């Protein structure tokens, strides 16, 4: 038998810059024009975001002499579908998009995940720029390169790691954001605070107390901190094989209640419940002081997120969703627990009885 080695160990240049500010869309065009990322751009957005911001963002890019087209998909999670992927690919071909074209994902998490996925597989990969318009996407999904679409067998079951060539976070988009969506994003901000930055909890509590959760300076501060926390974890663990899993704090049970509710609970509400459950399990297993668990519940309530599981969700249904979560490895379900605020760890061995009991105690 002959063997020969294909030598492909090399430096991969996947670094990129996150730009954060109020009203930065005008500057994005110049930055992209200077970057040489692509010769032309196609903005991918959804009908809602398109009506609010599509024309303005396209005009801002065109002002920098970029060639820009725009495609809008239907709004909502249903667009994270392989049919939308095919439709986008056909439209891109129709526009003559080639390997020197970049996509601009303008929208929330669905648009970001979908557009990132299309960019990663169109002609074996073209660049994508993330322009998140919701707080949730700004602090979470736009950074880190995770892309995906849903199939019958599971959410995000098909996807890639495809790092963007740049992220532009404009606080200005948040002025039009509905309250429920702001809370969705605040759930992820609270998660970042709990796992990495207890001082950020003070900031959120203060803002909630004085009704300042929409103030530009506050939003810019929490977005910057959340992005810093996320990007530091992504840098250490780009492919989500170890440390980055602590970003799933609240998500193990969160995903299970979200699915068990038939997605009547939003992602933020589900993560809020999941964080309360993880804190309760951490306390029950004698890791987390009671005062820390109470503080987590209190800040979640303060921003208007739920800290209890709706009574109508059957615990058995939640348990079976937990077992089928793709975070499962072999027969072990990973829970991210807390030793104290700012000190999370991966625990693979929470007894099923404790999980079940915690679910029951958190229901009302």
d(CA 337, CA 350): 10
Tell me which stretch binds its own copies (CB under 8 A): 2-10, 206-214, 252-260, 261-269.
2-10
d(CA 133, CA 212): 20
Q: How far is the CB of 236 from its own copies (least distance, A)?
A: 10
- For its own copies, which is the closer residue by CB, 158 or 354? 158
Binding residue (CB under 8 A) for its own copies from 203, 231, 285, 363 = 231
Strand partners, 346: 336
d(CA 250, CA 119): 29
- For its own copies, which is the closer residue by CB, 6 or 353? 6
Q: According to CB under 8 A, which residues from 158 to 177 bind its own copies?
A: 158-161, 163, 167
Is 346 one of the binding residues for its own copies (CB under 8 A)?
Answer: no
Q: According to CB under 8 A, which residues from 237 to 266 bind its own copies?
A: 238-240
Is 328 one of the binding residues for its own copies (CB under 8 A)?
Answer: yes
- For its own copies, which is the closer residue by CB, 152 or 178? 152
d(CA 84, CA 215): 36
Q: According to CB under 8 A, which residues from 84 to 143 bind its own copies?
A: 85-86, 89-90, 93-94, 98-100, 117, 120-125, 143
Q: How far is the CB of 353 from its own copies (least distance, A)?
A: 24
Count of C-beta atoms within a 10 Å radius of residue 161: 15
- For its own copies, which is the closer residue by CB, 156 or 363? 156
d(CA 292, CA 53): 41
d(CA 187, CA 216): 18
Is 294 one of the binding residues for its own copies (CB under 8 A)?
Answer: no
d(CA 94, CA 217): 43
Exposure string (b/e) for 24-38, b if CB count within 10 Å is 16 or more? bbeebbebbeeeebb
- For its own copies, which is the closer residue by CB, 92 or 273? 92
Q: Which residues contact 108 (CB under 8 A, 6 or more apart)?
A: 46, 49, 132, 133, 134, 136, 137, 181
Q: How far is the CB of 170 from its own copies (least distance, A)?
A: 9
Q: According to CB under 8 A, which residues from 8 to 37 bind its own copies?
A: 8-21, 24, 27
95 in Cβ contact with 33 (< 8 Å): no
Tell me which stretch binds its own copies (CB under 8 A): 62-70, 81-89, 180-188, 194-202.
81-89
40 in Cβ contact with 100 (< 8 Å): yes
Tell me which stretch binds its own copies (CB under 8 A): 6-14, 46-54, 245-253, 283-291.
6-14
Among residues 267, 236, 264, 234, the alpha carbon closest in space to that of 250 is found at 267
Binding residue (CB under 8 A) for its own copies from 234, 305, 355, 362 = 234
Binding residue (CB under 8 A) for its own copies from 70, 146, 183, 191 = 146
């Amino acid at each position: 038998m002959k063997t020969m080695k294909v030598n492909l160990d090399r430096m991969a240049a996947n670094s990129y810059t996150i730009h954060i500010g109020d009203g930065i869309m005008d500057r994005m065009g110049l930055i992209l024009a200077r970057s040489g990322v692509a010769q032309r751009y196609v903005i991918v957005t959804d009908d809602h975001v398109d009506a609010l911001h599509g024309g303005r963002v396209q005009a801002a890019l065109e002002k920098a002499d970029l060639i820009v087209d725009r495609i809008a998909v239907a709004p909502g999670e249903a667009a994270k579908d392989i049919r939308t992927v095919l439709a986008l690919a056909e439209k891109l071909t129709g526009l003559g998009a080639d390997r020197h074209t970049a996509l601009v994902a303008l929208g929330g998490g669905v648009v970001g995940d979908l557009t990132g996925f299309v960019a990663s597989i169109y002609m074996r990969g073209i660049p994508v720029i993330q322009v998140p318009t919701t707080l949730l996407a700004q602090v979470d999904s736009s950074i880190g390169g995770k892309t995906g679409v849903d199939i019958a067998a599971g959410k995000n079951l098909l996807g890639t790691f495809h790092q963007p060539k740049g992220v532009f976070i404009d606080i200005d988009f948040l002025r039009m954001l509905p309250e429920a969506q702001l809370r969705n994003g605040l759930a992820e901000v609270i998660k970042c605070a709990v796992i990495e930055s207890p001082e950020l909890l003070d900031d959120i509590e203060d803002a909630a107390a004085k009704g300042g959760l929409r103030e530009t300076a506050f939003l810019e501060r929490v977005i910057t901190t959340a992005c810093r926390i996320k990007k530091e974890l992504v840098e250490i663990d780009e492919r989500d094989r170890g440390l980055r899993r602590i970003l799933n704090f609240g998500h193990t049970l969160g995903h299970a209640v979200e699915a068990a509710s038939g997605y009547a609970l939003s992602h933020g509400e589900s993560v809020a419940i999941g964080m309360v459950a993880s804190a309760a399990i951490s306390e029950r297993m004698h890791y987390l002081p009671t005062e820390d668990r109470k503080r987590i519940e209190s800040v979640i309530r303060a921003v208007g997120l739920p800290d209890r599981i709706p009574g109508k969700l059957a615990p058995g249904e939640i348990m079976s969703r937990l077992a089928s979560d793709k975070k499962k490895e072999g027969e072990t379900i990973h829970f991210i627990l807390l030793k104290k605020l700012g000190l999370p760890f991966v625990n693979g061995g929470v007894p099923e009885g404790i999980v079940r009991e915690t679910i029951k105690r958190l229901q009302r």
